[in-house]
Copies of this chain bind each other. A is one copy, B any other.
Amino acid sequence: MPKARAWKDALYHEFARVGKALASPRRLELLDLLSQGPKSVESLAHELEATVANVSQHLRILAQAQLVQSQRSGTFVIYRLAHPHIVALLHQIQAVSEGLHAEIREWRQACLSDRDALPPVTTQELQQLIASGDVYLIDVRPAAEYAAGHLPGALSVPLPEVACHFQHWDDSRPIVAYCRGRYCLYAQDAVEILRQHGVKSRRTEVGVWEWPGGAPVE
């Protein structure tokens, strides 16, 4: 039945177009950054510490696979994910990868836990804290990412400004920092900065877009 073979070949060829787009570390990191909100080529290149030309080419490949869309805004070109499902796909890959390759778990432990005095805040805990309202919930990502979506009740305190803000705060309320996700070090760094100023704080277990209630509020 050669007809059935042709149909299957075409079908899996299409699926592999998505697979090929996910086959490069650079492109996975680009998608991860774009999951935090729309960004320009230049800012993506800066975050990746890669050349603009290189990032531009990777974005072209992602656009050909229709995983991202671009849109001109002034002199910049702004890229965004083409569909919210892609965030779920990313997390699925990361989950499978972490499930299969124990070294990732170990790295994460090594990077995140040994510097961390206090254990991270679990999702349930944070939900209770938000409901009670008695918490400084700080979003330590860049302000643009906060603007693209954040947890309910969160304050935007980008990492470089953490050291300035806390001084005017009530000492008795707990401080909880969150960032891009499981593999982002920003919240970890914020907690460390605060600790060096003698202020206790904790980070969340997961990032914004892993929040169970779905998309965060604007």
| Most B C-beta atoms less than 10 A away, residue of A9, A15, A24, A97 | A15
A115 beta carbon closer than 8 Å to chain B: no
From A51-59, A101-109, A136-144, A146-154, the one touching the partner chain is A101-109
Interface membership of A164, Cβ < 8 A: no
How far, in angstroms, from A4 to B186 measured CA to CA in the complex? 10
A17 at the interface (CB under 8 A from B): yes
| Interface status of A20 (Cβ within 8 A of chain B) | yes
Contact B22 A22 (CB under 8 A): yes
Task: Choose one: B11, B23, B67, B107; the contact of A22 (CB below 8 Å).
Answer: B23
A69–B100 Cα distance when bound, in Å, is 11
Q: Which of B49, B88, B97, B99 contacts A15 (CB 8 A)?
A: B97
A13 within 8 A of B: yes
Contact A23 B23 (CB under 8 A): yes
Tell yes or no: A94 within 8 A of B by CB.
Answer: yes
What's the nearest-Cβ distance from chain B to residue A112, in Å? 10
* Cross-chain contact A107 with B10 (CB below 8 angstroms): yes
Please report the C-alpha to C-alpha distance between residue A70 and residue B12 in the assembled complex, in whole angstroms.
23
Q: A45 at the A/B interface (Cβ < 8 Å)?
A: no
Interface centre among A26, A65, A86, A97 (most CB of B within 10 A): A97
B12 touches A25 (CB 8 A): yes
Q: Is the interface of A mostly helix, strand, loop or mixed?
A: helix
**A13 closest partner in B (C-beta):** B25
Residue A211 at the chain B interface, CB threshold 8 Å? no
B93 and A19 contacting across the interface, CB-CB below 8 Å: yes
A19-B19, A100-B66, A183-B11 are known contacts. Are A92 and B94 too (CB-CB below 8 A)? no
With contacts A4-B185, A89-B89, A89-B92 known, what are 9 further pairs, Cβ within 8 A? A10-B107, A11-B183, A12-B28, A16-B23, A18-B96, A20-B23, A65-B100, A82-B100, A92-B92
A-B contact pairs, 24 of them (CB 8 A): A5-B49, A7-B185, A10-B107, A12-B26, A14-B101, A14-B103, A15-B25, A15-B94, A16-B22, A16-B24, A16-B25, A18-B96, A18-B100, A19-B22, A19-B28, A22-B22, A65-B100, A66-B100, A83-B96, A83-B99, A85-B95, A88-B92, A89-B96, A92-B92
